[in-house]
Amino acid sequence: MQKVKIGVIGLGEIAQVTHIPTLKRLDDKYEIIAGCDVSEKLREKICEEYNIPQQYADYHELIEKSGVDAVLVLTKDHTDVVLTALAHDKYVLVEKPMCLTLSDADKIIEANKKSKGEVVVGYMRCYAPAFEMAVKEVGGIENIRYVKLRDIIGGNNYFVRQANKVYKFDDMPESIAEINKQRDNEICLEVHGTTDVDPQIKRMYNFLNGLSTHDISAMREIIGRPQKVESAVTWGDAPSINVVFKYDKFYAAYETVALTGYGRFDASIEVFGDGKTVSVYYDTPYISNLPVKLVVTETKDDVFEERIIRPTYLNPFDFELAHFHEVITTGIRPKTTPEDAKEDLLIFADILKYVKEHR
User: What span, in angstroms and rounded, lies between the C-alpha atoms of 140 and 275?
Assistant: 11
DSSP 153-182: ES-HHHHHHHH------S---HHHHHHHHH
User: What span, in angstroms and rounded, lies between the C-alpha atoms of 123 and 144?
Assistant: 24
- In sequence order, the 6+-apart residues with CB closer than 8 A to the CB of 355 are 201, 204, 232, 233, 234
Structural Rg of the chain based on CA atoms: 21
Per domain, the residue ranges of the chain are 4-123+320-334, 126-314+342-358
Cβ–Cβ under 8 Å, residues 158 and 263? yes
User: What span, in angstroms and rounded, lies between the C-alpha atoms of 321 and 22?
Assistant: 8
User: What span, in angstroms and rounded, lies between the C-alpha atoms of 337 and 304?
Assistant: 39
What is the pLDDT, as a whole number, of residue 237? 83
Answer yes or no: CATH 3.20.20.60 is held by domain 4-123+320-334: no
What is the pLDDT, as a whole number, of residue 157? 85
Strands 240-246 and 251-258: antiparallel
Q: How many CB atoms within 10 Å of residue 195?
A: 12
Q: Which of 141, 116, 176, 87 is nearest to 297 (CA)?
A: 141
What is the pLDDT, as a whole number, of residue 289? 87
What is the pLDDT, as a whole number, of residue 93? 98
User: What span, in angstroms and rounded, lies between the C-alpha atoms of 163 and 356?
Assistant: 39
User: What is the three-class DSSP state of 347?
Assistant: helix
SS3 of 64-124: HHCCCCEEEECCCCCHHHHHHHHHCCCEEEEECCCCCCHHHHHHHHHHHHHCCCCEEEECH
Instruction: For residue 44, report the phi and psi dihedrals to the nearest 5 degrees.
Output: -65, -40
For residue 293, what are the β-bridge partners?
281
Q: Which amino acid, residue 70?
A: A
User: What is the three-class DSSP state of 167?
Assistant: coil
Q: Which of 138, 140, 148, 131 is nearest to 335 (CA)?
A: 131
Burial (CB < 10 A; 0-12, 13-18, 19+), residue 135, is: middle
Domain 126-314+342-358 sits in CATH at 3.30.360.10
User: What span, in angstroms and rounded, lies between the C-alpha atoms of 120 and 340?
Assistant: 10
Cβ–Cβ under 8 Å, residues 328 and 91? yes
Q: Nearest-5° angle of CA 31, CA 66, CA 44? A: 75
Largest CA distance in the chain: 68
Q: How many CB atoms within 10 Å of residue 94?
A: 26
What is the pLDDT, as a whole number, of residue 261? 78
Q: Which of 64, 48, 52, 44 is nearest to 23 (CA)?
A: 52
Angle between helices 129-139 and 213-223 (to 10 degrees): 40
Per-run averaged pLDDT (10 residues), the chain, 359 residues: 94 96 97 97 97 97 98 96 98 97 98 98 97 96 96 87 91 88 94 94 95 96 98 91 98 94 91 96 91 95 95 96 98 97 98 95
